[in-house]
Amino acid sequence: MDSAYTLCEADLHCHTTASDGLLTPTELVFLAAELGLKGIGITDHDTIQGWQEAEEAGKKYQIQILRGIEISTEWQGKEVHILGYEVNGSSDHFNERLRDLRRAREQRMLKILARLEAQGIHICVAEVQRFAQGESIGRPHVAHALMERGIVSSIEEGFEYYIGKGASAYVPRYQLTPEEGIELVRAACGVAVLAHPGVRHLEAGIPAWVKAGLQGIEVVHSDHKPEDEKLFRAIAQEYHLLTTGGSDFHGEVRKPGVKLGRWGVSLDVIQQILNLAQHN
C-alpha cells in the first residue's frame, strides 16, 4: 500500500495516453474518483485528443473536467511549458498549429532513432509506437522501449544516458517561443498559465510573458520545493495572476512517486479559470 497523503480537491495537471501518460482518460478519471478527488485538468502535450473521453467518464464518475493542454516552448535555452485551459478545441488555427507541433515530434523521433542506431541500438518506429497509444509521441515512449529491451532500468535512466538534453541520442525539437505559445492559447480564447516555473527558474521571464497575455502561474507542482511555491505565489500576487496547481501525473512507471491529487488546488480554482476563459 502507498503511504497516506493529503489529497487536494482538484489536480489541474494530468497526462493521459493521448500523449505520454500511462492511463487512458477513463482510467485517469476513475482513479480520481476512487481517490475522492472532485476535479482534474487534462493537460496532454500538444493534443486535445483525451478531452472527450475524459468528459464522458467525468459525467459517469462525477469528476469535474477542466479542458487543458501543455505546449512546450523555449526561452534562453530553457524549456518553458505553457498550459492552456479551456481553449476552443474547434478553432481551425489552433488545431493546425497543434498538428504542426505533433508532426515535429514525429520527425524528431526518427532522428532520435537514427542516433540510437548509430550507437548500435536498433529500435524501429513500430517498437516505439507500441508505447504510444495517442496522437502525440514523445521521448518517454522511446525511453519505455529502451527500458523494455533492458538497455536501461528506468525511464529516468533512458533520459540520463540517451535522450535527455546533452545525452548521446538527444535531438532538440522545433519549439515556439513562450510568447507564441501564450498567443496561441489566447487566440483560441484559452487561459494561459506558466507551468512549473520553479523547475528551470523562470522568474526573470515573467514580466514579458504577462505582457504577452499570461494569466496564471502553476504555483503548486510535484517538482516545486516549498521555496519555489512561496516565490511564485508572491509573483502571481504582484502581477494579479491566477494561482493554479497540479501533480503532472503521468502514471507510476513514467513518473515514479508523482501521485494523482497529491499536488493541486481547491475546486473553486476551476471556476476561476472558467470565469476568466469566458471573458477571453
Which residues contribute to the site for Mn ion (CB under 5 A)? 20, 70, 81, 195, 248
Residue with the CB atom nearest ligand AMP in the bound state? 138
Judged by CB under 6 A, the number of residues near ligand AMP is 12
Is residue 31 within the footprint of ligand AMP (CB under 6 A)? no
Toward ligand AMP, which CB reaches closer, 11 or 64? 11
When binding is defined by CB under 6 A, the residue of 33, 74, 164, 280 that contacts ligand AMP is 164
| Residue 190: partners with Cβ closer than 8 Å, 6 or more residues away | 69, 84, 85, 86, 87, 88, 277, 280
Least distance CB 262 / ligand AMP (angstroms): 17
- Let me know: does 37 contact 8? Beta carbons within 8 Å: yes
Torsion angle, CA of 184/188/194/196, rounded to 10 degrees? -100
Exposed/middle/buried for residue 211 (C-beta within 10 Å: 0-12, 13-18, 19+): exposed
- Site residues for ligand AMP, window 35-74 (CB under 6 A)? 45, 72
Q: Is the dihedral of CA 173, 176, 178, 181 positive or negative?
A: negative
Toward Mn ion, which CB reaches closer, 93 or 104? 104
Is residue 155 within the footprint of ligand AMP (CB under 6 A)? yes
**Three-state DSSP class for 143?**
helix
Is residue 196 within the footprint of ligand AMP (CB under 6 A)? no
When binding is defined by CB under 6 A, the residue of 20, 53, 86, 218 that contacts ligand AMP is 20
Alpha-carbon distance 273 to 218, whole Å?
12
Candidate ranges 34-42, 136-144, 217-225, 228-236; the one touching ligand AMP (CB under 6 A): 136-144
Least distance CB 61 / ligand AMP (angstroms): 25
Query: Within 10 Å of residue 106's Cβ, how many Cβ atoms?
Result: 12
Burial 4-24 (b: 16+ CB within 10 A, else e): eeebbbbbbbbbbbbbbbbbb
Select from Mn ion, ligand AMP, none the partner in contact with residue 55, using the beta carbon and a kind-dependent cut-off of 5 to 8 Å.
Answer: none
When binding is defined by CB under 6 A, the residue of 27, 55, 56, 156 that contacts ligand AMP is 156
Single out the residue of 58, 50, 4 nearest to residue 31, CA to CA: 58
List residues near ligand AMP by CB under 6 A. 20, 45, 72, 138-140, 155-156, 159, 164, 173, 250
